[in-house]
Amino acid sequence: MAQTLLAVFDSLDDAQAAASRLEADGVARSNLNIHARNDFIADVPAHGFTGTAHDGTTRDATVGHSAGEAEGGVMTRIEHFFKNLFGDDDAPEEADHYREAVRRGGAVLSVDLADESRVEAIRSVLSGAGAIDIDQRVTQWKSAGYTGYDAAAPVYSADEIAAERQRFNVVKEELEVAKREVQTGGVRVYSRVTETPVSESVNLREEHATIERRAVDRPATVADLKEGFVEVRETTEQPVVSKAARVVEEVVVGKEASERTETIHDTVRGTEVEVERTEGREGLARQGTNGKQPL
């Protein structure tokens, strides 16, 4: 099912830039139409974006009208576009808001799509190109007295457009805390051979021959007269030293991670915009062009 997406921009330049982005994204030029006031498109090349309207009329998309419609006025051409889009009786209230946006110096970019799957992608491109939120803008208009589109109301002058679109940026700094790894030290483990004097006590046993002579007085026998000898060996124990190496401890080298929470204290800057309502004083109202009071 074919669809037409509408996007409002604050200026013709913004609308043209959005159209260029859509064309680069694959949208055909014939499906792009920009509707803006004549005084904002006087210097636009005639070969900009051309397309075919719903009634079959070939239109210059940067101008938003065919050559035969030039005498009808810019707002008439905008209304004719919405009649083509919605019909004479079915135009929603939002159509008047788009007309009002053009009256106030904006530009409406229409995108004809035959592929519904691309709707969200096109909306994303339009938003990224600076399309305004028409509902939010209408709320701002209403806070300044806007009650609805008036076809008889004159278009905004350049000064009125500039006055309405003054902006004061509200800036807010945000604290961004990142992390980086730094070396805080470390350990080196060496293995060396050491020598340590030690002492150990051991009990040693010795055996010595003993000679004992005892005086006796008895008759000798044959056995006493035989020859012989007896050998007695003397012994002693000596220490025998040997060494055996044993592993008595293991030193394991590794790393373990731990986490800590550190609170960063700093200050961020920002700007605040204060709105102060001033009291009017009689006799000091300054009239604008065409006898209208400036906004």
pLDDT means per 10 residues, the chain with 295 residues, are 82 90 89 76 36 32 36 56 64 77 87 84 89 88 84 83 76 88 88 89 90 88 83 90 89 87 87 78 47 38
Beta carbons of 211 and 232 less than 8 angstroms apart: no
User: pTM of the entire structure?
Assistant: 0.47
Place of tokens 């409002």: 8
Query: According to the model, what pLDDT value does residue 102 have?
Result: 87
* Residues constituting the chain: 295
- Looking at the DSSP assignment, which residues form a beta bridge with residue 7? 109
Query: According to the model, what pLDDT value does residue 206 have?
Result: 92
Quick one: which H or E segment has residue 5?
strand 3-9
Beta carbons of 102 and 78 less than 8 angstroms apart: yes
Beta carbons of 84 and 55 less than 8 angstroms apart: yes
Query: According to the model, what pLDDT value does residue 205 have?
Result: 92
Query: According to the model, what pLDDT value does residue 9 have?
Result: 92
- Token pair, residue 130, equals 């600076």
Query: According to the model, what pLDDT value does residue 159 have?
Result: 83
Query: According to the model, what pLDDT value does residue 88 have?
Result: 59
Q: Where on the phi/psi map is residue 185: left (φ > 0), alpha (ψ -120 to 50), or beta?
A: left
85-93: which pairs have CB atoms within 8 A and are 24 or more residues apart?
Answer: 85/4, 85/54, 85/110
Query: According to the model, what pLDDT value does residue 235 have?
Result: 93
